[in-house]
Amino acid sequence: MKNIWQYEEETMSLDDLKQFQLERLQSTLNRVSENVDFYKRKFKDAGIDVAKIKSLEDIKHLPFTTKQDLRDNYPYGMFAVPLKDIVRIHSSSGTTGKPTVVGYTKRDLETWKNLVARIMVAGGVSANDIVHIAFSYGLFTGGFGLHYGAEHIGASVIPVSSGNTKRQIMIMQDYRSSVLVCTPSYALHIAETLENEGLSRNDIFLKYALLGSEPWGEKIRSEIENKLGVSATDNYGLSEIIGPGVSGECQCKNGLHINEDHFYAEVINPDTCEVLPEGEKGELVLTTLTKEAMPLIRYRTRDITRLFRDKCPCGRTFIKMEKPSGRTDDMLIINGVNVFPSQVEEVFKEFDQATPHYIIIVKKKGHLDMMEIQLEISENLFFDEMKKQRTLLEKMHERMFSVLGIKPKIKFVEPKTIERFEGKAKRVIDERQF
């Protein structure tokens, strides 16, 4: 069938799938307990003998892996293969200054492009399409992930990368882009720029939009679909697990099919860590079943969702997850980039002039996210000459950009203007609506 990329896998019966998952889980457990010191130790401490994992339900006895674990093993401590077998390195934002590192073997890259091809085909893309990728290319997995998946289908790929919206529109018109890949907020921003240029959906050739990396609702979907003349689908992924390609919506647009033959999904109660039955909302936990370079066991994604298995008219049998509806930690998603407030704090600590009093305000400017950080500075600096203030501001901007990957607005405020808290300080005011 032409609208399912890997028909046999994606329409597998539940019995076959479970058998497949169990075999792959056992082989992954064997590999990590032999080759990754972190898991060797962790299983030993928990008294786990991986040979005794005989069913998928047994997975609940295994310990979780967290972002902190990746950080503690920075940079290559989580790799299960020698560096010579790693052919690609990406990273994702860490909770503090250092990002976390992820690696891929040759076979991991093969798997990855097939998984992305699956979600792209599910979103409507075919070999006849011209795919316009407006994700930034670099250490983050979005750009390259979608790029290789689209090429693998046989589509023509334009690696436009992010920014310069007018130029994006020119390319869309001239090269006749038929698929747009970016964040939902950037798709809306393109639509708005189109209007400001006196153009409409009739002046471009888009048919499909594959959008991801940030939360969005049905209202935003219909606005994008109307203004750009596309069918818009959501897709989900995280660098730690593989990048984009973990799950994606089909044309039924009712939940994201998880590529279950490669990832085992659970939903847990984030407070008690107990596994919740299908249909209940909680934190998504993923175990990689085929990753060679960096297999992860029960990785806590911090994304809140629920799982459900319905008989989807598209023919795919894989379980679905609802669009993630929030986080169990304080991570912010700013125009698709993950930012932790603790990273901001780390940067300020590098500057003597910064006080510990700051607040992060996130709002929408047009359709794009805007992050403003207000920082109290010492009294003498505040009343000091403007030139000194400007130099300091420039240095802070530069550091923020290199640590966060985005350019927040930083504003100095007078001492004692930011509200004080007796308990845990409120660091973030998020005024956005999804």
| Cross-strand bridge partners of residue 130 | 156
As measured in angstroms, the least distance from the Cβ of 312 to Zn ion is 3
As measured in angstroms, the least distance from the Cβ of 434 to Zn ion is 23
Give the integer Cα–Cα distance in Å for 383 and 379: 6
Helix (H, G, I), strand (E, B) or coil at 152: helix
What does the block give as tokens for 414? 């007078």
Alpha helices in 130-279 (DSSP H): 141-153, 165-175, 184-196, 218-228
Rg (CA), the chain: 23
Cis? peptide before 75, omega within 30° of 0 = yes
As measured in angstroms, the least distance from the Cβ of 399 to Zn ion is 45
For strands 179-182 and 130-133, give the pairing: parallel
What does the block give as tokens for 425? 């300080």
As measured in angstroms, the least distance from the Cβ of 257 to Zn ion is 6
Number of residues in contact with Zn ion, rule: CB under 5 A?
A: 5
Q: Which is nearer to Zn ion, 291 or 316 (CB)?
A: 316
Query: CB under 5 A: which stretch of 33-41, 85-93, 243-251, 277-285 binds Zn ion?
Result: 243-251
As measured in angstroms, the least distance from the Cβ of 170 to Zn ion is 35
Query: CB under 5 A: which stretch of 13-21, 28-36, 246-254, 291-299 binds Zn ion?
Result: 246-254
C-alpha atoms less than 13 angstroms from C-alpha of 340 in its C-beta half-sphere: 18
Q: Which is nearer to Zn ion, 236 or 299 (CB)?
A: 236
Q: Which is nearer to Zn ion, 132 or 316 (CB)?
A: 316
As measured in angstroms, the least distance from the Cβ of 319 to Zn ion is 11
For strands 243-249 and 256-258, give the pairing: antiparallel
Query: CB under 5 A: which stretch of 249-257, 258-266, 280-288, 395-403 binds Zn ion?
Result: 249-257
Q: Which is nearer to Zn ion, 10 or 376 (CB)?
A: 10
Sites for Zn ion among residues 94-133 (CB under 5 A) = none
Cβ–Cβ < 8 Å for 302, 276: no
As measured in angstroms, the least distance from the Cβ of 314 to Zn ion is 3
As measured in angstroms, the least distance from the Cβ of 237 to Zn ion is 17
As measured in angstroms, the least distance from the Cβ of 251 to Zn ion is 7
Sites for Zn ion among residues 305-334 (CB under 5 A) = 312, 314, 316
Contacts 24+ apart (CB under 8 A), 273-276: 273/64, 275/60
CA distances from residue 156 to 6, 118, 167, 426 in whole angstroms, order as listed: 20, 16, 19, 47
Least Cα distance to 213 among 108, 341, 335 occurs for: 335
As measured in angstroms, the least distance from the Cβ of 103 to Zn ion is 31
Q: Which is nearer to Zn ion, 245 or 295 (CB)?
A: 245
- In the chain, the largest separation of any two C-alpha atoms, in whole Å, equals 72
| CA geometry: angle 195, 334, 73, nearest 5 deg | 150
Q: 């295994």: which residue's tokens?
A: 62
Q: Which is nearer to Zn ion, 42 or 257 (CB)?
A: 257
Show the site string, 251-290: x = touches Zn ion by CB under 5 A, - = not: -x--------------------------------------
By CB atoms closer than 10 A (0-12, 13-18, 19+), residue 94 is buried
As measured in angstroms, the least distance from the Cβ of 254 to Zn ion is 8
Is 4 a binding residue for Zn ion by CB under 5 A? The answer is no
Query: CB under 5 A: which stretch of 38-46, 184-192, 247-255, 336-344 binds Zn ion?
Result: 247-255
Q: Which is nearer to Zn ion, 122 or 146 (CB)?
A: 122
Query: CB under 5 A: which stretch of 192-200, 245-253, 389-397, 422-430 binds Zn ion?
Result: 245-253
Q: Which is nearer to Zn ion, 4 or 370 (CB)?
A: 4
Q: Which is nearer to Zn ion, 64 or 308 (CB)?
A: 308
Give the integer Cα–Cα distance in Å for 234 and 214: 9
Q: Which is nearer to Zn ion, 314 or 331 (CB)?
A: 314
- Return the C-alpha torsion angle 249, 253, 254, 257, nearest 10: -10
Among 158, 206, 250, 396, binds Zn ion (CB under 5 A): 250
Cβ–Cβ < 8 Å for 375, 413: yes
Q: Which is nearer to Zn ion, 12 or 250 (CB)?
A: 250
Binding footprint of Zn ion on the chain (CB under 5 A)? 250, 252, 312, 314, 316
